[in-house]
Amino acid sequence: MNFIKKNYGWMIVAVLAALPLMVIFNMIDINFSDGFSVSLIEVAGGEGKTTLEMLYHVSGEFAIRWMTAVLTMTPVFIIFGVTNLFVRQAMGIATAVWSLLHFIIFIAAEGLLETFTQVNYIAGFIAILILIPLLLTSNRKSMKLLKSNWKKIQQFSYAAILLSLIHVAILEKTWIIYAVIVGLGFIVRIPVVKHKILGFRRKRKTD
């Protein structure tokens, strides 16, 4: 019971991050009857999209959703005073896993060299490279080992979200939603704005 109480945040994030995988599994046929083979099941996607295009869309969409959610945690703390560092780490892991899955689907279909043919692909690739060390250090052992340097490494997530927004912006217009959310988050982080919000919170507590 104590384990659940201590790690309930991680468990909730893990479930929320894993549930959309069911959508992807429904598009894939894994056959063990004659050796091992993996094939795509053609489904009727929205706007006439093929299964592969749906896989691109689903994996990429959840990757940027989780990334946006992670960067929203600090503004939520500033405004409401609610924070859980280890839950944020779990969300960061979900971001990296979905991003890597998105990239794997891409290179499986198009090949690694295709990554370097377009600006949006290159931006996405660099974002993936940034996320890998963030993923590997998203644990308590790394925090103790790296100490103050841990936060410096994690700050590269800002570059990852910027590159991801560039990646999505060139592909489709839904990036505007995430750009607005992230933009408002950065406004809240501005020292003058942050101090005013924190001052207002302290004043409400004393009233």
135-181 confidence digits (pLDDT tens): 888 877 888 888 888 888 888 888 888 888 888 887 776 677 888 88
Q: For residue 101, how many other CB atoms are within 10 A of its CB?
A: 18
How much is the pLDDT for 3? 63
Cα torsion 39, 96, 163, 174 to 10°: value is: 60
User: pTM for the full model?
Assistant: 0.81
CA distances from 169 to 79, 121, 164 (A): 28, 11, 8
How much is the pLDDT for 100? 92
- Averaged pLDDT, 172-200: 82
How much is the pLDDT for 86? 65
- How does residue 207 score in pLDDT terms, banded at 50, 70 and 90? low
- Averaged pLDDT, 26-46: 67
The residue that leads in pLDDT, 47 or 2, is: 2
Q: Give the pLDDT confidence of 78-122 residue by residue, as tens digits.
A: 888 766 666 778 888 889 999 998 998 888 878 889 889 988 899
Which of the given ranges, 15-19, 71-75, 122-126, has the highest pLDDT on average?
122-126
How much is the pLDDT for 149? 87
Cα torsion 189, 192, 195, 201 to 10°: value is: -90
How much is the pLDDT for 10? 76
In terms of residues, how long is the chain?
207
CA distances from 154 to 102, 163, 183, 195 (A): 21, 15, 18, 23
How much is the pLDDT for 47? 58
Q: What are phi and psi of 162, to 5 degrees?
A: -65, -45
**Closest-CA residue to 171 (of 49, 51, 57, 44):** 57
How much is the pLDDT for 127? 93
The pair of three-digit structure tokens given for residue 204, joined into one six-digit string:
């409400």
Q: For residue 81, how many other CB atoms are within 10 A of its CB?
A: 12
- How does residue 128 score in pLDDT terms, banded at 50, 70 and 90? very high
Please name the residue that has the structure tokens 């990646």: 167
How much is the pLDDT for 130? 92
How much is the pLDDT for 171? 73
SS3 (DSSP) at 138: coil
Q: Give the pLDDT confidence of 46-84 residue by residue, as tens digits.
A: 556 677 777 878 888 888 888 888 888 888 888 887 666
SS3 (DSSP) at 40: strand
